[in-house]
Amino acid sequence: MTSTRIPAIEITGAYGALIKVATRKMLGEVPDAAGVMWHYPQVFKDLMGFNRKAEKWDKLDENLSVLAHMAAAAAVGCTACLDINYFMAHRRGLDEAKVREVPRWRESTVFTPLERRVMEYAHAMSQTPPAVTDELSAALLDELGAAALLELSARVGLMNLSARVNIALGIHSQEFSNACGLPPLAVASAEVGSTA
């Protein structure tokens, strides 16, 4: 990992021990980013708690959720978020061929029209200012329903929170996906227009 803007510290205490056990179980090791976040354990705990609660949401298909997460991470430029989501998709048995293509979703031929619209929505929502259109929202409302569109929006917002915190703190990919033998993520060749 390249140097972060806040140096990592040792994760200590009873809650820290739980963090270490949980992250080792999930990832095989404790991410360096956890040591950065440990400077303020309450913030770390609250962010993790909100993510755990979001994992229980179930109105949006899990594959679409992962594609949206990764498209938002790619739009913002969070290598740590892309890597961890690719790794987690592998662990959950999701379609790795599609997941690895997310950074080049506009050029790739592996996605369905609905998957493209979900990633376009995530990308548009991740712009500053957000660039979501009425037409794209209406199409997704028809295809997904109100509850799933609300969940999609909340998940993209949550990914933007994580991605922007990581980028601001200088937290980069720890290459968890490489450690489990996954092929590298595809790289987008160039920004192109909308695919909806």
- Is residue 99 a part of any domain in this protein? yes
Q: Kindly tell me if the per-residue pLDDT of 27 is higher than 90.
A: no
CATH of the domain at 164: 1.20.1290.10
- Is residue 194 a part of any domain in this protein? no
The rounded distance, in Å, linking the Cα atoms of 125 and 49 is 23
The range of the structural domain enclosing residue 82 comes to 57-179
Per-residue pLDDT band for 192 (boundaries 50, 70, 90) equals very low
Output the pTM of the full model.
0.88
The rounded distance, in Å, linking the Cα atoms of 122 and 115 is 11
Q: Kindly tell me if the per-residue pLDDT of 26 is higher than 90.
A: no
Averaged over 94-119, what is the pLDDT?
94
- Is residue 95 a part of any domain in this protein? yes
Average pLDDT, the chain: 91
Per-residue pLDDT band for 179 (boundaries 50, 70, 90) equals low
pLDDT tens-digit series, residues 55-78: 999 999 999 999 999 999 999 999
CA angle 89, 92, 97 (to 5 degrees): 45
pLDDT tens-digit series, residues 107-121: 999 999 999 999 999
Contact (Cβ atoms closer than 8 angstroms) between residue 68 and residue 156: yes
Averaged over 29-47, what is the pLDDT?
94
- Is residue 154 a part of any domain in this protein? yes
Encode burial over 18-49: b for 16+ CB neighbours within 10 A, e otherwise: ebeeebeeebeebbebbbbbbeeeeebeeeee
Work out how many domains the chain is built from and give that number: 1
Q: 124 phi and psi, to 5 degrees? A: -65, -40
- Is residue 44 a part of any domain in this protein? no
- Is residue 161 a part of any domain in this protein? yes
- Is residue 26 a part of any domain in this protein? no
Residues 6+ apart with CB under 8 A from 194: 120
Q: What is the pLDDT of residue 13?
A: 95
> Whose CA is closest to 73, among 162, 9, 148, 153?
162
Averaged over 28-49, what is the pLDDT?
94
